Amino acid sequence: MRIGIDVGGTNTDAVLMDGATVLGAVKTPTTSDVGEGIVRALQLLRTETRFDPARVTAVMIGTTHFTNAILERQRLMPTAAIRLCLPAAERLPPMVDWPEDLRQAVGAHTFLLHGGHEFDGRVISPLDEPEIRAVARRIADRGIRAVAITSIFSPVNPSFEEEAAAIMRSEIPEANITLSHTIGRIGLLERENAAILNACLGDLARRIVRAFREALSGMDISAPFYLSQNDGTLMSAEFAEAYPVLTIASGPTNSMRGAAFLSGAAREAVVVDIGGTTSDVGMLVSGFPREASAIVKIGGVRTNFRMPDVYSFGLGGGSIVQTDPLRIGPQSVGYELTTKALVFGGRTLTTTDVAVAAGLAEIGDRNAVAALDPQLVQSVLDEIHVRIAEAVDRMKISAAPLPVIAVGGGSILINESIEGASEIITPEHFAVANAIGAAIAQVGGETDRVFALEAMSRAAALDQAKAEATQKAVAAGAEPATVHIVDVEEVPLAYLPGNATRIRVKAVGDLLQT
Amino acid sequence: MRLLHPQNVEDIALGAAVLGTGGGGDPYLGKLMALQAMREHGPVPLLTLDEIGDDDLIVPSAAMGAPTVLIEKLPQGDEVLHAFRALEAYLGKPAKATMPIEAGGLNSTIPIMVAARLGLPLVDCDGMGRAFPEVQMVTHTLYGIGATPMAMADEKGNSVILNTINNRWAETFARSITVDMGATALIAVCSVTGRQLKEAAISGTTTLCETIGRTIRQAREDKRDVVEAVRQVVGGFRLFHGKVVDVQRRTETGFAKGEATLEGIAEDAGRRLVIHFQNEHLIAMVDGEMVASVPDLITALDSDSGEPVTTEGLRYGFRVVVLGIPCNEKWRTLAGLAIVGPRYFGYDIDYRPVENRFGL
C-alpha cells in the first residue's frame, strides 16, 4: 500500500492506494506547521480506512513549501555564488538580474574565479586551487554554509565544478554545495540562478524532511518516503535535501499525472484542474505533462530547468460572480467559501452557488439559491465553458479533438461538452487527483548535453544519451527492468563546426520496491 | 540628438527580437550589459545620420558566433572595447561614434554598451534593417565599403586584424577565427566615414526597434491586441495564424537549418504554412505557394503575448501569428538580391515583394 500526500496552499490531500485501487481519500486544511498538517491528514486517512501502518510500503509527498519560501523571500540561507569562468563572463556577475529583495535575502555573496570550458571541451582557463581555497576561507569567515558552484559549459564537462566542490569541502566540511550541472541546462545565468535558488533552500529542505520523517514515525509508518518533482517523478528524502528546487511546480504536475492515471490509458489528453481560485490547464503527452521550453521565472528570477507547461487563469469554485455586467473571477472567496458563499449562508454569489442552483452539485443549502434567475445561471455556465474551451485550445497541439480530463474540487462546474474536446472525463476521486498523482509517481533520469556528430554517428550519440538517462533513473531508485525512454529532443547548434547537436533524453521507471 | 535611458534600452531589446526574424541571438544579454554600462556611465547620446560630420570615422561594434554558445560563455565584457580600440589604432584615427551593424537580435544592444563605456554617441542606423547570418550581408557591401579592416577579440585578450579582398572572404576568415575563439567573438567591422554612411546605411533602425518595443509594452499594458499593434507599427502583413505542428532541424555548414510546419487556426483553418529557416526565417510557403522570402522579414509572434519567437524556441503547440515585413529598398536591387535573396540561400525561387500579394 502506498500513501500519496499533496500539501497545497489551501488544502492538504491524502490518499491510500493499493496498486491501482484507491482505498481512501481525505482533504484537510493546510497548517502553518509543516508536520502538523501531514499528521492530521494521516490521522483522518487512518480513521477512514483503518490501514495498518506496517503494511505501508512507501509515502509520496508533494509540497509547495519551497515555492512559497522563494516567493515570500523567507527561510532562505545566505548563499555564496561561485562562478568558474574567468576571464570570460566577468561583467555580468551572479544574481545580476535578480529582484533586489531576493538578492538581499540570500546575501549577494558572489565570487568570480578561473575555470570553465569551451563548447568543444577545451579549457577556458585551468582551475586555480589556491584561489578557490582563499575564497572558501572568506566564505567560512562570513559564516556561510550554502554554496552554489557554476562552471561555463559544465553540462558538457562537469569536472571543474566537481573539483572545486572537493576543494571547498576540504575547507568547509559542513558546506551545503550545489553544482549547477546537476540541475540546469546550457544557459549560464539561468542555470546558475537555479543552482543558487537550490542552495539557499538547503536548511529548509532539511527541516521539512525532518518534519515529514517525524510525522510519519509518529504514525508508526516506517516505510521510506519520497518527494514529488516537477516532472512527475519522485526523489528520495536524501535527494530532496540536496535538490529542493526540483520540487517547484510539482503541484500542477501531480494533478496532471493523477488525472492521467484516473482516466485510464489516455496517452494524449488535456487536463483541466479547477481549484478554488484558479484553474490550471496542461497537456499530457505519453501520460506526462508537456514541458515548458522557454525561460521560466521563479520569484522573479529567470531559470531554465524543466517545468511543466501549465496555463493558469482566474476561474475556480470560489470565483465571485458579478451580474451586471456579467463577470466571473478573477476575485475569489478562496478558503472562505464555506462562510461567504450563498449556499453556506453567506452573501457573495460564487460559481459554486451557480453549480448548486443548476443541480450540478449538492453543497450546502440548496434553498439559498432557489431564487437565482435560471437565465443568469445558464449564462454563467456558458461563460465558464467558453473560457475553459479557450484554455484547452491554447494548450492543444493540433486541431484534432482530444479527451479533456476534469479534476480538482471546482470541476463540478463543467456539465456540458467543451468545444475541441472529444469527450469530457470526470474520473472518480477527481477532487484528490494531485495526491493520487504523488502516490503513483515514477522515478526518472535525464541527460542534456552537446554531442559532436562528426566524431560519432547520430545513432551512436542518441544511444549514448539514452544509456546515460537510463543510468541516472536507476541511480535515482528505478527498477532497471521498467525504465524506458519517454522523451528525446535534438537541437543542432548554430554556427558550430563538427555538426554539434544538443540532445536531451528523459527516462522513467517504476520505483524499486524493497 | 537625444539621450537613450534604461527604459529605451528595454524597448530596443524587445523590438530587436521582432527584427531578428527568428535569429540574431537573444537581445537579453546585450541589454543586461548595456543597462549595467549605463548605470556606471550614464545615458547614451543617439545621433541621426544628419548629425554626423562627413569626415567623421564611425566604427560599428558587434558580437559574432553561435547564439547558443554566447548564452553559456558570456563575454568578459571588455573584449568588444579591445576590438574597437585595435581597429582605431590600425586606422590611426579615433572613432567619433559607434553603431549597430545589425538591427535585429543581440547586436542591437551590444553597441549601446560600447557607446556608454567609451563615452561615444550611437548613430541611429544599421547595415541590415533586420538580422542576417553572414558578415558580407550588409548594405555597406552594395556601396563598395569593405567589412575589413576588421578587428576581432576574445575574452582572453587576443585580438586579430583581418584584411580581405572582399566581404565574402571577411566572412570566411572571421568564421574560422570565431570558432577558434570559442564560437563567439566580439568585433569592430565595416568602419566608414560619415559621408559613406549617409549613403550606405539604413537610417533610423535603433529608433524603429525602440518604437516596436514600446508598442508591445504599451499594448500589453492597455490589454490591446499586441500582434495587430506591432503589424501596424512595422507596416507589415499578416501571413498566417497557426499552431506549430512539426519542427525539423539539422546542422549544415555550421548553420541551424530546418523547416517549421504550422497548421492554420481561425481565419487560416485548413491551411498549412511551412517556414524554412537558416538561423533566421528565410522563406514562408502557404500550401506550397511562397508568400514571403528573404530579404523581406518573416517574423513569428506569440499570438497572445506578442512575444517574438526564435527558430530555436519554435516547438510543437506554439500558437503564433506570422508577419511579413517589407525589407529596406536597398535589398530589393539586383545587387542586394544577389547577396541576400532566396537564391543565395539555395532556394530556386524568384523574390517577390511581400506586399504584392496584398495588391500593393
Give the CATH number of the domain where residue B109 resides.
3.40.1610.10
Residue B202 has a pLDDT of 97
CATH assignment at residue B286? 2.40.390.10
**Domain assignment present for A364:** yes
Q: Which among A95, A494, A98, A152 has a CA at the least distance from the CA of B155?
A: A152
Phi, psi of A400 (to 5 degrees): -60, 135
**Domain assignment present for B162:** yes
Within this chain, do residues A65 and A161 fall inside the same structural domain, yes or no? no
Q: Distance (Å, rounded) from C-alpha B52 to C-alpha A204?
A: 59
Share of chain B above pLDDT 90, in %: 81
C-alpha distance from residue A443 to each of A60, A169, A267, A394, A478 (Å): 12, 29, 19, 29, 5
Within this chain, do residues B43 and B166 fall inside the same structural domain, yes or no? yes
Decide: B191 and B117 in contact? Cβ < 8 Å.
no
Within this chain, do residues B269 and B142 fall inside the same structural domain, yes or no? no
| Cβ-based neighbours of A24, under 8 Å, separated by 6 or more | A15, A16, A45, A48, A49, A51
Within this chain, do residues A113 and A217 fall inside the same structural domain, yes or no? no
Within this chain, do residues A274 and A418 fall inside the same structural domain, yes or no? yes
* Stronger pLDDT, B161 or A31, i.e. the higher one: B161
**Is some CB atom of chain B closer than 8 A to the CB atom of A119?**
yes
**Domain assignment present for B77:** yes
Prediction ipTM score: 0.90
The predicted model gives B186-198 an average pLDDT of 96
Within this chain, do residues A427 and A300 fall inside the same structural domain, yes or no? yes
Q: Would you place residue B185 in the very low, low, confident or very high pLDDT band (cuts 50, 70, 90)?
A: very high
Q: Distance (Å, rounded) from C-alpha A189 to C-alpha A106?
A: 16
Within this chain, do residues A129 and A114 fall inside the same structural domain, yes or no? yes
Domain assignment of residue A140, given as a range: 77-200
Within this chain, do residues B191 and B88 fall inside the same structural domain, yes or no? yes
Residue B58 has a pLDDT of 97
Distance from the Cα of A104 to chain B's closest Cα (Å) equals 19
Domain assignment of residue B255, given as a range: 233-358
For an interface test with B, the pick among A495, A496, A501, A504 (most B C-beta atoms closer than 10 Å) comes out as A495
For an interface test with A, the pick among B32, B64, B68, B257 (most A C-beta atoms closer than 10 Å) comes out as B68
Residues of A in contact with B279 (CB under 8 A): 494-495
Q: Which among B307, B254, B242, B244 has a CA at the least distance from the CA of B279?
A: B254
Residues of A in contact with B254 (CB under 8 A): 494-497
**Domain assignment present for B323:** yes
Within this chain, do residues B159 and B265 fall inside the same structural domain, yes or no? no
Within this chain, do residues B163 and B59 fall inside the same structural domain, yes or no? yes
pLDDT, one tens digit for every residue, chain A (514 residues):
999 999 877 778 999 999 889 999 998 877 778 788 889 999 999 999 999 999 998 999 998 888 888 888 888 999 999 999 999 999 999 999 999 999 999 998 999 999 999 887 789 999 999 999 999 999 999 999 999 999 999 987 889 999 999 999 999 999 999 999 888 888 899 999 999 999 999 999 999 999 999 999 999 999 989 999 888 888 888 889 999 999 988 888 899 989 988 887 667 899 999 988 888 899 887 777 887 766 788 888 998 777 888 888 888 888 999 988 889 988 888 778 888 999 999 999 999 999 999 999 888 999 999 989 999 999 999 999 999 998 888 787 666 788 999 998 888 898 888 888 888 988 888 889 999 999 988 888 888 777 877 778 888 888 999 999 999 889 878 889 999 887 777 766 544 556 677 788 889 888 876 5
- Give the tens place of pLDDT for each residue, B100-116: 999 999 999 999 999 99
Within this chain, do residues B150 and B200 fall inside the same structural domain, yes or no? yes
**Domain assignment present for B213:** no
Q: Which residues pair with B266 in a beta bridge?
A: none
Q: Is B283 helix (H, G, I), strand (E, B) or coil?
A: strand
Inspect the interface and report whether the beta carbons of B182 and A294 lie closer than 8 Å: no
**Among the three residues A387, A408, A431, which one is the final residue of a domain in this structure?**
A431
CATH assignment at residue A162? 3.40.50
Inspect the interface and report whether the beta carbons of B256 and A395 lie closer than 8 Å: no
CATH assignment at residue A293? 3.30.420
Within this chain, do residues A336 and A421 fall inside the same structural domain, yes or no? yes
Q: Distance (Å, rounded) from C-alpha A96 to C-alpha A190?
A: 11
CATH assignment at residue A49? 3.30.420.40
**Among the three residues A376, A406, A431, which one is the final residue of a domain in this structure?**
A431
Residue B121 has a pLDDT of 98
Q: Which among B63, B20, B77 has a CA at the least distance from the CA of A96?
A: B77
**Domain assignment present for B324:** yes
Inspect the interface and report whether the beta carbons of A497 and B254 lie closer than 8 Å: yes
Residue A186 has a pLDDT of 82
Of A293, A396, A496, the CB nearest to B183: A496
**Domain assignment present for B288:** yes
Tally of structural domains, chain A: 4
Decide: B319 and B302 in contact? Cβ < 8 Å.
yes
Within this chain, do residues A471 and A374 fall inside the same structural domain, yes or no? no
Cα-Cα-Cα-Cα dihedral of A46, A246, A207, A431, to 10°? -30
Within this chain, do residues A304 and A367 fall inside the same structural domain, yes or no? yes
Buried b or exposed e, range B178-207, using 16+ CB within 10 angstroms:
bbebbbbbbbbbbbbbbebbeebbbbbbbb
**Among the three residues A248, A281, A308, which one is the final residue of a domain in this structure?**
A248
Of A116, A293, A493, the CB nearest to B251: A493
DSSP assigned state of A412: G
Q: Distance (Å, rounded) from C-alpha A121 to C-alpha B265?
A: 44
- Give the tens place of pLDDT for each residue, B12-33: 999 999 999 998 888 899 999 9
Residue B331 has a pLDDT of 97
- Give the tens place of pLDDT for each residue, B208-265: 999 999 999 998 888 788 999 999 999 999 999 998 878 877 766 656 788 999 999 8
Tally of structural domains, chain B: 2
Instruction: Give the mean pLDDT of chain B.
Output: 93
Within this chain, do residues A337 and A368 fall inside the same structural domain, yes or no? yes
Q: Distance (Å, rounded) from C-alpha A169 to C-alpha A447?
A: 26
The C-alpha cell at B71 is: 548564452
For an interface test with A, the pick among B79, B134, B248, B251 (most A C-beta atoms closer than 10 Å) comes out as B251
Within this chain, do residues A269 and A418 fall inside the same structural domain, yes or no? yes
Within this chain, do residues B176 and B293 fall inside the same structural domain, yes or no? no
Q: Distance (Å, rounded) from C-alpha A240 to C-alpha A59?
A: 14
Q: Closest chain A residue to B314 measured between Cα atoms?
A: A293
Within this chain, do residues A272 and A408 fall inside the same structural domain, yes or no? yes
Q: Would you place residue B330 in the very low, low, confident or very high pLDDT band (cuts 50, 70, 90)?
A: very high
Inspect the interface and report whether the beta carbons of A118 and B183 lie closer than 8 Å: yes
| Cβ-based neighbours of A324, under 8 Å, separated by 6 or more | none
Q: Distance (Å, rounded) from C-alpha B124 to C-alpha B202?
A: 9
Residues 56-85 of A with CB under 8 A from B: 85
The predicted model gives B303-322 an average pLDDT of 81
**How far from chain centre, in Å, is Cα A256?**
11
Within this chain, do residues A290 and A405 fall inside the same structural domain, yes or no? yes
Q: Tell whether omega for the bond before A87 is within 30 degrees of 0, i.e. cis.
A: yes
